[in-house]
């Protein structure tokens, strides 16, 4: 049976089971064709508050279940993603405009997130402390209660599930608010998988909606921790609301990531890495290579190789054969990409490939002759655009990398010794030597410096335990302690 049988979820939200939301349902559009794929239910602020209350009620019994029971639900959910991979891949391709490789990656990572989460319930939950008092002393980790998750449109499944399943496995309830443009990949899939895996009712709520719904989630008193992935502008608002409400918040925000091509690097391999870094999923990835920093000795050769790639990559509906570049998510996104390219051109930059679009298909673009002020260099583009500049020394490269307001990912291509020196000089949450900037694995800590986030990390056992538990100091002694009065 299909996991995503629309008779179950069409025009519904998942609030103690499938039911109509209080907001008007929305069309789910296929960016490649403009066709309506289905209708999704949307949640109002009241629905979000109800979801948080119901989650808080269900959480206590869930936290009291045996670790083996929580682990088993996670394992079954992982298996469901694997068993339904073909069906889910097709949905991700159509709803997000993804090529098969990107859609397949989302499913693989989702399954791995579930399997990794299945190990969390049996993981050590704290420390035994030494003490100068005559008591035993422990720091033990407890579930926080209800975790709110807000996710974006670009990698909707991974960016939702990477917080949802570790939080659940650790005994929390979760309220997930996916982006209304990708409610199936970012929400319905996870709700259906967890439902089929036997998660008790109420422990997971899935309430799609826009900024207003997200804001309601950050205000809901039952939600103790918010895990937000999205733009820096929205992240600031979420951070402000969380601060006001004394909630802990994990902010995973924007990036303007540099891939550096060091002197002596193999130019053909570097250009392939650079093209992948800038063009995968039409550049709509927080880790996208938004800045190519190429040593002056090989820059001309590198730009020619990148230009050739950009001009040859097949653009079109990603459900057709051999497409490398699909559509961007919507007109707003496309117009923002084009504004950045045109403004940079007006400022003196040279567009050596692309720079134009047809409907939602933006041609892979290579830009040179940029300055610090060019919007294509200084801003996050979130589109298939490769801006290239040169450097002379690794000290200069480090200075240019660190001048960005962001600090999410850096790729260093070429001589490993030089790359190691540069790795020590950059301010970045991730550094990849001889790989480009886009990389994510379920057991690796993920997060950025500067305006890429607030220093939180998600991914890996220790990181996830820190992200989704509270610490309690617990002492015990055999008799009531003696006191001086």
Residue 231 binds to ligand NAD (criterion: CB under 6 A):
yes
Q: Does 236 bind ligand NAD (CB under 6 A)?
A: no
Contact between 154 and ligand NAD by CB under 6 A: the answer reads: yes
Residues 244-283 that bind ligand NAD (CB under 6 A): 252-255
Residue 456 sits in the site that holds ligand NAD (CB under 6 A): no
Rounded Cα distance between 2 and 354, Å, is: 40
Is 57 designated active site? no
Given the residues 30, 252, 380, 418, select the one marked as catalytic: 252
One character per residue 67-106, x = contact with ligand NAD (rule: CB under 6 A): ----------------------------------------
Cα–Cα nearest to 292, from 312, 271, 264:
271
Which span sits near ligand NAD by CB under 6 A: 5-13, 225-233, 292-300, 308-316? Answer: 225-233
Q: With respect to ligand NAD, which residue has the nearer C-beta, 105 or 238?
A: 238
Per CB under 6 A, the segment of 106-114, 207-215, 260-268, 387-395 that binds ligand NAD is 207-215
82 as an active site residue: the answer is no
Site pattern 106..125 for ligand NAD (x: CB under 6 A): --------------------
Tokens 């948080």 map to which residue?
52
Helices 85-96 and 67-83: crossing angle in degrees, nearest 10, is 70
Size of the site for ligand NAD (CB under 6 A): 29
Q: Which range touches ligand NAD (CB under 6 A), out of 98-106, 166-174, 189-197, 210-218?
A: 210-218
Among 107, 159, 188, 310, binds ligand NAD (CB under 6 A): 159
222 binds ligand NAD (CB under 6 A): no
Angstrom distance (rounded) from CA 56 to CA 123: 24
Residue nearest to ligand NAD (CB): 214
Binding site for ligand NAD (CB under 6 A): 150-154, 159, 177, 179, 210-211, 214-215, 218, 229-231, 234, 237-238, 252-255, 286, 380, 382, 408, 448, 452
């Amino acid at each position: 049976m299909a996991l995503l049988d629309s008779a179950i979820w069409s025009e519904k939200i998942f609030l103690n089971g499938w039911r109509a939301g209080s907001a008007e349902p929305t069309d789910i559009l296929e960016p490649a064709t403009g066709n309506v794929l289905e209708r999704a239910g949307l949640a109002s602020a009241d629905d979000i508050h109800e979801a948080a209350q119901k989650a808080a009620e269900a959480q206590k019994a869930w936290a009291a279940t045996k670790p083996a029971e929580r682990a088993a639900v996670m394992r079954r959910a992982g298996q469901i993603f694997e068993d339904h991979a073909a069906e889910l891949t097709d949905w991700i391709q159509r709803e997000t405009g993804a090529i098969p490789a990107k859609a397949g990656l989302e499913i693989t990572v989702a399954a791995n997130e579930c399997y990794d989460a299945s190990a969390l319930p049996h993981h050590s939950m704290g420390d035994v402390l030494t003490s100068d008092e005559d008591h035993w002393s422990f720091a033990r980790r407890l579930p926080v209660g209800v975790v709110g998750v807000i996710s974006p449109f670009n990698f909707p499944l991974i960016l939702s599930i990477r917080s949802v399943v570790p939080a659940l496995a650790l005994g929390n309830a979760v309220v997930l608010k996916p982006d209304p443009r990708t409610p199936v990949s970012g929400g319905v899939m996870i709700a259906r998988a967890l439902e089929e895996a036997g998660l008790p009712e109420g422990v997971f709520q899935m309430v799609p909606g826009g900024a207003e719904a997200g804001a309601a989630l950050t205000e809901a008193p039952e939600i103790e921790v918010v895990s937000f992935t999205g733009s820096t502008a929205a992240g600031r608002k979420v951070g402000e609301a969380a601060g006001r409400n004394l909630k802990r918040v994990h902010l995973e925000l924007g990036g303007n990531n540099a891939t550096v091509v060091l002197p002596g690097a193999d130019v053909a391999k570097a250009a392939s890495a650079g093209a992948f870094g800038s063009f995968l999923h039409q550049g709509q990835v927080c880790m996208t290579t938004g800045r190519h920093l190429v040593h002056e000795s090989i820059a001309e050769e590198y730009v020619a190789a990148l230009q050739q790639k950009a001009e040859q990559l097949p653009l079109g509906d990603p459900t057709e054969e051999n497409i490398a570049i699909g559509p961007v998510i919507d007109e707003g996104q496309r117009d923002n990409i084009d504004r950045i390219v045109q403004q940079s051109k007006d400022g003196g930059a040279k567009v050596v490939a692309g720079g134009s679009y047809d409907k939602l298909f933006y041609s892979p673009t290579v830009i040179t002759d940029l300055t610090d002020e060019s919007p294509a260099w200084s801003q996050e583009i979130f589109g298939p655009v490769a801006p290239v500049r040169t450097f002379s020394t690794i000290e200069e490269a480090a200075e240019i990398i660190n001048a960005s307001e962001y600090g999410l990912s850096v790729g260093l291509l070429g001589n490993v010794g030089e790359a190691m020196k540069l790795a020590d000089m950059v301010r970045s949450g991730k550094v990849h030597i001889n790989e480009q900037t886009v990389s994510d694995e379920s057991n690796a800590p993920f997060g950025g410096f500067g305006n890429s986030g607030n220093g939180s990390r998600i991914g890996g056992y220790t990181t996830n335990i820190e992200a989704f538990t509270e610490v309690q100091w617990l002492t015990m002694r055999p008799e009531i302690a003696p006191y001086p009065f």
